[in-house]
Amino acid sequence: MLKSAIKLLKNLYSRVLQSIAFYPVLISVGFLLLAFKILELESLELVKDLKQRMPYFFIEDYETARAILTTLVGGILSLTVFSFTMVMVVLSQASSNFSPRLLPSLVSNKRHQLILGVYIGTLLYCIIILIFLGAQGIDAHSVGFSTMFAAISGVFCIGLFVYFIHSISTSIQIQNIIDNIFRSSSRYLDEEYKDFNSLKVGLQELRLNNFETIYSHKSGYYRGFDASLLGDSLIDEGHHIEVLPFVGKHMWEGMPLIQVQKSIEGKDLEDLLFCVDMSNNRADNNKGIGGFIKLMEIAVKAMSPGINDPGTAIDAINKLAPLLMKTMRFPNKTSNSLREGKIILVTNNLRAKELLQMIIQPIRLYAKKDSSVVLALMGALKYMAQDTKISKENKEEVQKELEALKMDVEENIANKFDREKILALFV
């Protein structure tokens, strides 16, 4: 039960962070509490003395205080509605022009969430002060400090609105989207590569003839194996576990999922399957294969007849090349010793053949008639092939993809001059 609660909390935490309402709700609650706290400060001698020394900063007139608060409520409400409308327009444009998979990262933009949170929080703050002012009647000096803070917050919201316009207009630019995906994917791969270097990787030819196969209990995209959720009985017995799919692979119910050295049944089998994270979403983040898929779909979408934007496709290909090269440096298998050596966990990484088939081939299919994109794709493949850290097997897969690209050029580039010029570069 405890492990189920832990897994549920992890999934809930991930969903909450990607929600557009996460930070706005937290900030709104903070402003709500701040309103009651500032109302308590009105009665302090320090605040009263401050009002006497600087009376021009504090509103003493009831009608003026009410007018200011009412204006702020109406104005900030308009800013909030307009800002939310702009967010929806941006999401709709990104979905139709680039890829629907970009929506989660745009929605979870923390800067926009913080700005919307300040809007809503200031709005709630002004409403609370306005209600308190109505309850106090003409005794407006009791909310002079609170009204001053509301006015400062209103000016701050105007500044945030100017920044929001700038931020939302730059976040929808495709070059910035591509750069953000590239940076987050590159950081993730660098961190993973450091972790892999600290693990045992001499498992490329591991024989599993005597191992028992456990099949997938449901369909979905494999997201990882959480060894911290392993049951105590599994740890006490000691197991050699190999997870067969790579992260991001789609698994059908009944497909081979795990191989174990010892037979596992009943409650232990349920505990083992419980550690497997499956998702219905193919690419819900920019980490690993998720970022590759987004860049691939941006390139493919850019080459569609309705958009026809080779420049965007070339930018996506140029960012994909170093990411694919880093991925090909990973070993095919890695092992990790857990729980003082009682558990040996073997994981499979994405192989070059599957990676190129998933990422490069769709771009090649849509761009084979455009000489500029073909040149960019050829340059990317040659760049990967010359890397000294890539295994001989992976280099052969890259060469096969280059040969396939050459065949596409011969069959699809109609202009003889362009075709011969591109083919000469394959030598």
- pLDDT for position 400: 92
Share of the chain above pLDDT 70, in %: 83
To 5 degrees, how large is the angle CA 383–CA 185–CA 375? Answer: 30
Cβ atoms of residues 168 and 92 within 8 Å: no
Q: What is the pLDDT of residues 398-420, one digit of tens each?
A: 999 999 999 998 888 888 888 88
Q: What is the pLDDT of residues 280-334, one digit of tens each?
A: 876 666 666 788 888 998 999 888 888 888 899 999 999 999 999 988 888 888 8
Cβ atoms of residues 122 and 154 within 8 Å: yes
Please, which pLDDT band fits residue 378 given cuts at 50, 70 and 90?
very high
Record the tokens describing residue 33, joined without a space. Answer: 């509490």
Mean pLDDT for the chain overall:
81
The total of other beta-carbon atoms located within 10 Å of residue 314's CB is 21
Helix (H, G, I), strand (E, B) or coil at 241: strand
DSSP character at residue 246? P
Lowest mean pLDDT among 97-101, 250-254, 295-299, 333-337: 97-101
Q: What is the pLDDT of residues 29-80, one digit of tens each?
A: 999 898 888 877 766 665 566 666 666 566 777 788 888 888 999 999 998 8
Q: Where along the chain do its domains lie?
A: 2-172, 178-424
CA atoms of 324 and 383, how far apart (whole Å): 10
Average pLDDT over residues 85-89: 80
Lowest mean pLDDT among 194-208, 231-245, 403-417: 194-208
Lowest mean pLDDT among 228-237, 252-261, 374-383: 228-237
Write the CB contacts of 89 (distance below 8 Å, at least 6 apart in sequence): none
- pLDDT for position 262: 79
Please, which pLDDT band fits residue 196 given cuts at 50, 70 and 90?
low
Kindly list the distances between the CA atom of residue 26 and the CA atoms of 17, 22, 422, in Å, as whole numbers in the listed order.
12, 7, 57
Helix (H, G, I), strand (E, B) or coil at 303: coil
Look up tokens 């939302």; give the residue.
Answer: 168
Kindly list the distances between the CA atom of residue 128 and the CA atoms of 62, 131, 309, in Å, as whole numbers in the listed order.
16, 5, 51
Of these ranges, 60-64, 131-135, 271-275, the one predicted with the greatest mean pLDDT is 271-275
Residue 197, pLDDT > 80, answer no
CA atoms of 211 and 213, how far apart (whole Å): 7
The CATH number of domain 178-424 is 3.90.1170.30:
yes
Pick 41 or 166 by higher pLDDT. Answer: 166
Residue 98, pLDDT > 90, answer no
Write the CB contacts of 328 (distance below 8 Å, at least 6 apart in sequence): 352, 355, 384, 387, 390, 391, 394, 398
Average pLDDT over residues 1-28: 67
Q: What global pTM score does this model have?
A: 0.78
- pLDDT for position 4: 56
- pLDDT for position 209: 54
Record the tokens describing residue 337, joined without a space. Answer: 């010793």
The total of other beta-carbon atoms located within 10 Å of residue 201's CB is 15
Q: What DSSP letter does each residue of 11-47 carry, written as one string?
A: HHHHHHHT-TTHHHHHHHHHHHHHHHHHHHHTTSHHH
Q: Please, what sign has the CA dihedral across residues 235, 241, 246, 249?
A: negative
CA atoms of 402 and 379, how far apart (whole Å): 10
Name 178's bridge partners: none
